[in-house]
Amino acid sequence: MDLGILAWGDTGWGDELARGVLTTVAIASAAYLVGAALGTLLAAMKLSGTPAMNVPAAVYTTTMRGIPEMLVIYLVFFGGGALSSWIASSVLGIHDRVDLPSFAVGVVCIALSVAAYACEVIRGAVLAVPGGQIEAAEAVGMTRSQRNRLVVAPQAFRMALPGMTNVWQFALKDTALVSIIGVTEVMRTASIGSDATKQPFTFYFAALVIFIVIAYLSQRLFVRLQASADRGVRWGS
């Protein structure tokens, strides 16, 4: 195994891999944030108690959790591209093939999946806020939105964190899937390097180390967040 091949600059693949790391982290972070926001919205719909809201949300989460991630990516990227081309030619009269931006599609696809899982985590966390906490808010005359903002949200946040840490790990690993639509994140960079140098072990092992390091560092961030959310609420924190 020749590690010189992973050097920085023109002779090695170090800078290419570093760019891949940035892309991976960027996709995962953007998808996670968008997905968490969408998941919160879905959770609110599910908790609303009105069929017009919770039925669409339930259909969405059941569907998204039931189909392979790769199918979503193919459907949005190729299916969406073909659909866009068709619309462009039949409606706008432009007959060029339309290619969707692969980075954006990658973010959207992972976000769609993150949203489905985050929805269930957040819904569970909201339901885990003890009824007495909410009654106490009602008893001082808080409005529904004050109660949600001041009492339910901070407590649900704390309880959602372990599950949301899990969802983050999923999002991070899912970035490898968007290599199939040509996003040069860690996985695709390793694959290109492996093909070019005929050293698959070096490159895929490097990718493995990279994923472990990202996972470890982000894990530490979540542990800190949890500790600050647990402050005063749990002993030993």
Partner 1 sequence: MQALVATDIRKAFGSLEVLRGVSLRANKGDVIAIIGGSGSGKSTFLRCLNLLEVPDAGSLWLNGITLDFNRSGPAGGTTPKAKAELRRRLGMVFQSFNLWTHMSALDNIIAGPIHVLGQDRKEARAIGLDLLDRVGLADKADAFPAQLSGGQQQRVAIARALAMRPEALLFDEPTSALDPELVGEVLKVIQGLAAEGRTMILVTHEMAFARDVATHVMFFHDGRVEEEGRPDLIFSNPGSERCRSFLKKFL
Q: Quick one: which of 184, 190, 18, 169 has its CA closest to 106? A: 184
Our finding on whether 219 is near partner 1 (CB under 8 A) is no
How many Cα atoms sit within 13 Å of 139 on the Cβ side?
6
Are the C-beta atoms of 186 and 211 separated by less than 8 Å?
A: yes
Our finding on whether 132 is near partner 1 (CB under 8 A) is yes
Our finding on whether 232 is near partner 1 (CB under 8 A) is yes
Instruction: Choose, by CB under 8 A, the member of 68, 70, 128, 135 that binds partner 1.
Output: 135
Q: Report 141-170 residues binding partner 1 (CB under 8 A).
A: 141-143, 146, 150-151, 154-155, 158
Our finding on whether 228 is near partner 1 (CB under 8 A) is no
Are the C-beta atoms of 96 and 88 separated by less than 8 Å?
A: yes
Stretch near partner 1 under the rule CB under 8 A, chosen from 9-17, 23-31, 91-99, 135-143: 135-143
Strands (DSSP E) found in 117-200 = none
Our finding on whether 52 is near partner 1 (CB under 8 A) is no
In sequence order, the 6+-apart residues with CB closer than 8 A to the CB of 22 are none
Contacts with partner 1 by CB under 8 A: the residue count is 23
Which residue matches tokens 């180390």?
A: 209
Interface residues with partner 1 (CB under 8 A) are: 130, 132-133, 135-143, 146, 150-151, 154-155, 158, 231-235
